[in-house]
Structure 1
Amino acid sequence: MKARQKRLAFVGLAIVGIGAASALAVTALKSNLSYFFSPSQVIANEAPPDHVFRLGGLVTKGTVQRQKDGLTVHFDVTDNAQTVKVAYTGILPDLFSEGTGVVAKGRLGSDRIFYADEVLAKHDEEYMPPEVASTLQTAHAQGVVESAAQASGATN
């Protein structure tokens, strides 16, 4: 084999190696992605039914129910337009309470209950995750438009 052929073989192997490493990296990243969805998007079936995703919104007041085992908690998350039931087994963050912002990571069950693996609460009264704030603002704006449309329809 001549020196030129050896160089071409080396470059070819390097390209194949880089391609294989890139394919493995992309595959690993895809499996670890968890997109954010609001309760309205979950109700509209925009969330993947067989994939881990994050659900964010406000914990609905009066819905937190602790089971007798002491670790399982059921509560509702709302974006002021729609509500999704959440089940979580584990220790909740200290700042978790009704009426506060929350982001839960998990899967949607066939019974339309979101089974959370992880629950994160906001860390002070000023902060809210950007995704939660934008979905709450969108839901509020849609609610105002629908209320105005209903009011104008009622007067006509």
Structure 2
Amino acid sequence: MKGLKKQRRVQIIVLALVALTVSTGLIGYALQDGINFFRSPTQVVEDPPRVGEVFRIGGLVEEGSIKRGQSETVSFRVTDTNQTIPVRYTGILPDLFSEGQGMVGTGSMEDGTFIATEILAKHDETYMPAEVIDALKEQGVYQDANTDS
């Protein structure tokens, strides 16, 4: 009788571990399309993404680079002051999107141009996305607006 209870307990534990492993694997597989890594323009140039890989790119919108195209298509360049990547976006840009300001875009590379599916811009005159600040600090060009020179 004791041996049968022990055997049943071991079977339940093994079954629970198998179910946990399978569910963890399925969750990881389902989430892999939703994970978008952030890259600066320098990182994109130094280590080009895989074809069709969706990622986020951020930096400053280069001065004089915004060009309006057919309908809602806009082309511009994003820079981290070290490297520059051309960006094309079809859609309505955020109201606060402008040259010289921080932005983050989600999309993929196609023939050397970042094709954005989403563009995010700063939300007030002092805000810049954390990823953009980190990339600019890495290049040694970020100056905190709150510090006195």
TM range (shorter): 0.7 to 0.9
Residues in 2 aligned to 1:74 and 1:5: alpha-carbon distance in whole angstroms: 67
Are positions 1:59 and 2:68 aligned together? no
| Alignment correspondent of 1:121 | 121
Q: Hey, what's the Cα distance between the residues in 2 that align with 1:51 and 1:68?
A: 26
Give the aligned CA root-mean-square deviation in angstroms.
Answer: 1.7
- In 2, Cα distance between the equivalents of 1:7 and 1:135? 53
Q: Counterpart in 1 of 2:30?
A: 28
Normalising by structure 2, we get a TM-score of: 0.85
Q: Answer yes or no: is 1:18 the counterpart of 2:42.
A: no
Q: TM-score normalised to the size of structure 1? A: 0.81
Letter of the aligned partner of 1:41 in structure 2?
Q
- What is the deviation of 1:34? 0.9
Tell me if the contact between 1:106 and 1:117 (Cα under 8 Å) persists in the aligned partners: yes
- For residue 106 of structure 2, what is the aligned residue in structure 1? 105
* 8 Å Cα contact 1:58-1:79 kept in structure 2: yes
Aligned partners of 2:78 and 2:62: how far apart in 1?
6
**CA distance in structure 2 between the partners assigned to 1:137 and 1:4 by the alignment:** 60
Look up the SS of the partner of 2:104 in the other structure.
strand
Tell me the alpha carbon deviations over residues 83-103 of structure 1, each in whole angstroms, 9 at most, x when there is no partner.
100011111111111111000
- Which position in structure 1 is the counterpart of 2:87? 86
Of 4-13 and 123-132, more deviation after overlay is shown by 4-13
Cα distance between partner residues in 1 of 2:50 and 2:103 = 20
Provide the C-alpha distance between the structure 2 equivalents of 1:101 and 1:66, rounded to a whole number of angstroms. Answer: 19
Aligned equivalent of 2:147? none
Aligned-residue offset at 1:63: 1.2
Number of corresponding residues = 139
1:28 positional shift: 2.5
